[in-house]
């Protein structure tokens, strides 16, 4: 797993009389991507698209091993100056055939990034779709963050009438979906305006439409499902961001 941070040592030690297990991971000298972005003099489209490509590869590698990360967010993407970005902190991960103490949670990761269905307490009856579909949403949220510094669920919820927001809404998720889909469409229009380059904007909106769709039954890559039976395959996104990275490198697409 080339895009997952490697554990290089581990063991047990005593702290204040208590036995503590530990793991030591390879050092990311660049810190997490928030540190990299804070230190950058200006927006770098090539780096941004390369980072997204690396994130997609990392999530794909986990999914191919039947693992959902469940806590993908900027602080869990580490920047390695020589190797590029790698995913870290699998402490909240889910494995399709191995039990973890947090498996009973609807969403084990940071609720500030959770997809909308889980904020409203809706659990897809297909656990694999629920777990991998959440990861798919988190990748989309990461893309949005890299271009706008915003989280997908943050701007979605903020666009709702307060009576339709999580913790206030008392109806079912299906009942609130019309309001969410309307807010989602408004968000996409707003985000589209952030991309003066028409080619790049069209690509990004298509990606966000598939990754951050509040309707989990239609979220995902439809073409991948038709071919492989799963909506949450990332191969076409890996290829897409590799192509976009090259286009940016050659100056064919731009972003201010």
The 10s digit of each residue's pLDDT in 99-154 is 777 767 767 778 889 999 999 999 888 888 889 999 999 999 999 999 999 999 99
222-240, pLDDT tens digit by residue? 776 656 667 888 999 999 9
36-64, pLDDT tens digit by residue? 898 888 899 999 999 999 999 999 999 99
Q: Where are the domains of the chain?
A: 27-249
CATH of 27-249, one of 1.10.287.130, 3.20.20.70, 1.10.510.10, 1.10.150.120: 1.10.510.10
**Ramachandran region of residue 123, left (φ > 0), alpha (ψ -120 to 50) or beta?**
beta
9, burial (CB in 10 Å: exposed 0-12, middle 13-18, buried 19+): exposed
Distance CA 74, CA 71 (A): 10
- Give the whole-number percent of the chain exceeding pLDDT 90: 63
- pTM (two decimals): 0.91
Q: Which residues pair with 229 in a beta bridge?
A: none
Distance CA 142, CA 137 (A): 9
Written as six digits, the tokens of 143 are 């893309």
H or E segment and range at residue 20: strand 18-25
């Amino acid at each position: 797993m080339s895009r997952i941070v490697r554990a290089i040592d581990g063991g047990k030690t005593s702290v204040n009389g208590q036995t503590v297990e530990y793991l030591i991971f390879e050092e990311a000298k660049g810190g997490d991507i928030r540190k990299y972005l804070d230190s950058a003099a200006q927006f770098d489209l090539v780096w941004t698209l390369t980072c997204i490509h690396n994130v997609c590869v990392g999530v794909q590698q986990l999914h191919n091993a039947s693992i959902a990360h469940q806590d993908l967010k900027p602080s869990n993407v580490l920047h390695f100056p020589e190797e590029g970005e790698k995913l870290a902190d699998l402490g909240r991960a889910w494995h399709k055939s191995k039990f973890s103490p947090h498996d009973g949670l609807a969403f084990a990761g940071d609720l500030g990034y959770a997809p909308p269905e889980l904020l409203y307490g809706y659990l897809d009856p297909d656990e694999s779709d629920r777990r991998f579909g959440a990861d798919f949403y988190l990748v989309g949220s990461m893309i949005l963050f890299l271009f706008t510094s915003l989280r997908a669920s943050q701007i979605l919820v903020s666009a709702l009438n307060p009576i339709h927001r999580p913790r206030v809404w008392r109806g079912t998720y299906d009942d609130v979906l019309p309001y969410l889909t309307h807010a989602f469409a408004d968000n996409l229009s707003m985000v589209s305006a952030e991309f003066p380059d028409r080619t790049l904007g069209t690509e990004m909106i298509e990606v966000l439409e598939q990754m951050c769709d509040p309707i989990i039954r239609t979220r995902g890559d439809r073409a991948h499902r038709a071919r492989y039976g799963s909506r949450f395959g990332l191969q076409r996104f890996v290829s897409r961001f590799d192509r976009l990275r090259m286009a940016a490198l050659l100056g064919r697409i731009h972003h201010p």
